[in-house]
Amino acid sequence: MAQPRRGAVSRVLGPGKYIIGLAVVAAAAWYWFGEGDAAGGKPAYRLAKVEQGTISNTVTASGTLKALITVDVGTQISGQVKQLSADFNTEVKANQVIARIDPATFEAKVRETEADVATARGNVLLMEARLESMLADTRQARSVLELAKLDLARKKELLPSKAIAQSVYDQSVSAHEQAEAKVQGMIAKEAEQKAQIEVAKAQVLQKEATLAQRRIDLENTFIRSPVDGVVIARNVDVGQTVAASLQSPILFTIAQDLKRMQVEVNVDEADIGRIREGQTATFTVDSFPGRTFPGQVRQVRKAPKEVASVITYTVVVSTRNPDLRLLPGMTANVTFQIARRENVAMVPNAALRFRPSNVRPERASAEPAAPADRGTPQDRMRRQIETLKRELDLTAAQEQQVIAIFRDMGQRLRQMREGGASADDMREEIAKLRRGAEDKIAALLTPEQRAKYDDMRGAASDGGPRRATVYVIGPNGEPKQVVVMAGITDGTNTELVSGDVKPGDQVIVGADAKGSRAATPANPGRRFGL
């Protein structure tokens, strides 16, 4: 079958043109198999240079600017607003009058209650005078009783000798009993009068209490500022009627000190574990593009918020506002600095993601670095202390306190092991003790040391260095795989901890699609009928 096809070629090309036929076949072969190479067919790779500089690992979130203390000023009484002494942006002092409710009704009630108090007091005086009169009558009745008693005694002595008649003696006895009964009646009336006086005095106290309440209500017609600050909201106008029957209406909102403000930031649950009190933060607001404001994490609130199945936590960032440019309610885009590395090699993240189509990366490239022989727990503790001493420049006193913290942690773990604690309990306790030890160490440091320590903790929270793969152009022009150790990332570049790549080297970050080799048909000769 091969001979007829060669003959067919000869017939088509004609006698003496066999060489031309070979050229045509060669041209077809070049077209199908070598076109890409002649046009620079080896894939064209995009390269980027490994730079050296500063890299920061950050968490971004949005929040709202608020004053540290915001007070809603209301009213405890109902009435019509007669006077306003403050408006938006007015600076006020504590106890300053900022509004007045019409006092006419309350003044009339005060005068009415004052009259009631005077009447009640006069009633007490009248009853006391009656009591004095009763006491005088009682004294007179006692005198009559004494006289009757003496008369009865004399007649009792005369009766046996028949010097007086029996009837005379009986009259004397009757007069004595009447005098005694009258005295007892007067005493009872005195007690009743004293009780009525006590009731009258209680009524006086009641009227006085009512008067005090009326005076308080009158005083409450003056709406005063409870704090020094700035009025950021006014919700009433002169002539408006406010009703405080169910709840106190809000008349003004006062921000106590706008020179010190805070940003309440909603941080996603995936990032909240990397945020700690004392961390530095920066934020921007749309009102001042290009300007960055500094802040510091003051509080990480543990109460979760769920919106559309997304869990967030509120982080409070404190900031200063000396020029009063920042206003309550502004939306702030906050960046939390988790870790920072200066003067380190940085490789583009695109280089870590790049994989040539004809090269299969090592399976180990995605695995964390296997630690070398870590030694005993004492050795690991000693290395950690040396690292803290070197990186933070600890004083001798600080070093001893750090040693004591680690020693307490080791003693606690040793007690759990000796007590037969399970592996799960040990892991949970180790995590708890580590967090506690970190907080105790942070409390020992100066602000400068604390900033460096927060960077170290932030790097640790990212899992530490990890293995990664980059590709460079090898001697034969093909991609060459290089395994490196990658550190923190800022989303664009990643810290290059170690590896056979250094600043200035070129790494592959992508391939141009138009430079790829053209596809090869299953039977290229069929196009030419071969």
User: What is the Cα–Cα distance from 69 to 324, expressed in whole angstroms?
Assistant: 15
Q: What DSSP state is assigned to residue 267?
A: E
Residue 405, token pair as written in the block: 């913290």
Q: What number of CA atoms fall less than 13 Å from residue 394's CA on the CB side?
A: 21
Name the residue type at position 305: K
User: What is the Cα–Cα distance from 471 to 484, expressed in whole angstroms?
Assistant: 10
Q: What is the pLDDT of residues 415-474, one digit of tens each?
A: 888 888 777 677 777 777 877 888 888 888 888 888 778 767 665 555 567 888 999 998
- Cβ neighbours for 167, distance < 8 A, ≥ 6 positions apart: none
Pick the range with the lowest mean pLDDT from 91-100, 213-222, 244-253, 477-486: 244-253
Pick the range with the lowest mean pLDDT from 40-54, 401-415, 472-486: 40-54
**What band does 16 get if pLDDT is binned at 50, 70 and 90?**
very low
**What band does 359 get if pLDDT is binned at 50, 70 and 90?**
low
125 vs 158, more confident: 125
Sketch the domain layout of the chain as residue ranges.
2-42+517-528, 69-102+221-254, 105-219, 376-455
Whether the per-residue pLDDT at 109 is higher than 90: the answer is yes
Evaluate whether 69-102+221-254 and 105-219 have a shared fold: no
Whether the per-residue pLDDT at 95 is higher than 60: the answer is yes
Whether the per-residue pLDDT at 367 is higher than 70: the answer is no
User: What is the Cα–Cα distance from 313 to 315, expressed in whole angstroms?
Assistant: 6
User: What is the Cα–Cα distance from 171 to 21, expressed in whole angstroms?
Assistant: 179
Looking only at the bridges linking them, the beta strands covering 331-348 and 493-499 are antiparallel
408 vs 104, more confident: 104
Q: For the chain, what is the mean pLDDT?
A: 82
Residue 401, token pair as written in the block: 């306190």
The vertex-332 CA angle with 331 and 336, nearest 5°, equals 155
User: What is the Cα–Cα distance from 27 to 325, expressed in whole angstroms?
Assistant: 75
Whether the per-residue pLDDT at 172 is higher than 50: the answer is yes
The pLDDT assigned to 19 comes to 37
User: What is the Cα–Cα distance from 326 to 288, expressed in whole angstroms?
Assistant: 9
Pseudo-torsion of CA 163, 167, 170, 174, nearest 10°? Answer: -130
The pLDDT assigned to 488 comes to 87
Pick the range with the lowest mean pLDDT from 11-15, 65-69, 346-350: 11-15
**Phi, psi of 154, rounded to the nearest 5 degrees:** -65, -45
Q: In the predicted model, what is the mean pLDDT of residues 379-391?
A: 79
What percent of the chain is modeled with pLDDT above 70? Answer: 82
The answer to whether 51 and 493 are in contact (CB under 8 A) is yes
- Cβ neighbours for 368, distance < 8 A, ≥ 6 positions apart: 463, 464, 466, 467
Whether the per-residue pLDDT at 369 is higher than 50: the answer is no
**What band does 364 get if pLDDT is binned at 50, 70 and 90?**
very low
The pLDDT assigned to 34 comes to 40
DSSP string, 293-353: EEEEEEEEEEEEEEETTEEEEEEEEEEE-TT----TT-EEEEEEEEEEEEEEEEEEHHHHH
Residue 446, token pair as written in the block: 């100066």
210 vs 417, more confident: 210
CATH architecture of 69-102+221-254: Beta Barrel (2.40)
Whether the per-residue pLDDT at 8 is higher than 50: the answer is no
The pLDDT assigned to 42 comes to 59
The pLDDT assigned to 338 comes to 87
Whether the per-residue pLDDT at 366 is higher than 70: the answer is no
Whether the per-residue pLDDT at 143 is higher than 80: the answer is yes
Q: What is the pLDDT of residues 327-354, one digit of tens each?
A: 999 999 999 988 888 899 999 999 999 9
The pLDDT assigned to 146 comes to 94
Q: In the predicted model, what is the mean pLDDT of residues 118-125?
A: 95
- Yes or no: domain 105-219 corresponds to CATH 3.30.2140.20: no
Name the residue type at position 282: T
